[in-house]
């Protein structure tokens, strides 16, 4: 069985978006690393790794479905991030755009009768909800912190501690 050509083309576009997000998050991570804000650098580095993983999932889907991989040209990421709030807003905007694209890809899959891809995309819908929630929360915290970037660093440490506690308790 081979993937529907229209769906294949849309997935290739999505792969480009995921790699674009990877590069954007990596650039933001590097900015905060240079500024000595290691928690923010690590947070955005993990986001970058998630986006690379997403691209690889799409690539694997195309390969498994005997499709044709054609990664589009990827725009250079913005390197002019000057604050945590700006980074969080840029990230939230990007995640909203990615969510719109995944929704459009899901609609195309349904319209084309590609139920395998439709099922495959359900994981991404859950993932996008998590991404939007995370970036929205970071933006709210950044706005409250204002110029105090260390307050955002402390927030991220607390969040990581909560996640670690939940993981260790089996939740």
For 8-29, write each residue's pLDDT tens digit: 999 999 999 999 999 999 999 9
Q: Check pLDDT > 60 for residue 171.
A: no
Q: Check pLDDT > 90 for residue 166.
A: no
Domains along the chain with CATH numbers:
5-168 (1.20.1260.10)
pLDDT digits (tens, 9 = 90+) for 130-155: 999 999 999 999 999 999 999 999 99
Per-residue CA distances from 3 to 55, 94, 150 (Å): 17, 27, 48
Q: Are 158 and 107 in contact (CB under 8 A)?
A: no
Per-residue CA distances from 41 to 13, 46, 115, 127, 150 (Å): 28, 9, 39, 21, 12
Residue 1's pLDDT is what?
75
Q: In the numeric block, which tokens belong to residue 96?
A: 């909203």
Entry pTM: 0.89
Residue 96's pLDDT is what?
95
């Amino acid at each position: 069985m081979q993937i529907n050509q229209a769906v294949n083309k849309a997935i290739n576009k999505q792969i480009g978006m995921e790699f674009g997000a990877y590069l954007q998050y990596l650039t933001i991570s590097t900015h905060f690393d240079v500024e000595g804000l290691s928690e923010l650098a690590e947070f955005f580095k993990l986001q970058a790794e998630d986006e690379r993983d997403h691209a690889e999932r799409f690539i694997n889907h195309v390969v498994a479905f005997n499709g044709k991989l054609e990664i589009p040209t990827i725009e250079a990421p913005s390197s002019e991030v000057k604050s945590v709030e700006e980074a969080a807003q840029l990230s939230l905007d990007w995640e909203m755009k990615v969510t719109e694209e995944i929704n459009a890809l899901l609609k195309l899959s349904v319209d084309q009768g590609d139920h395998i891809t439709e099922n495959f995309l359900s994981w991404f819908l859950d993932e996008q909800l998590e991404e939007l929630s995370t970036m929205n929360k970071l933006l709210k915290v950044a706005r409250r912190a204002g110029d105090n970037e260390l307050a955002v660093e402390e927030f991220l440490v607390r969040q990581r501690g909560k996640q670690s506690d939940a993981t260790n308790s089996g939740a």
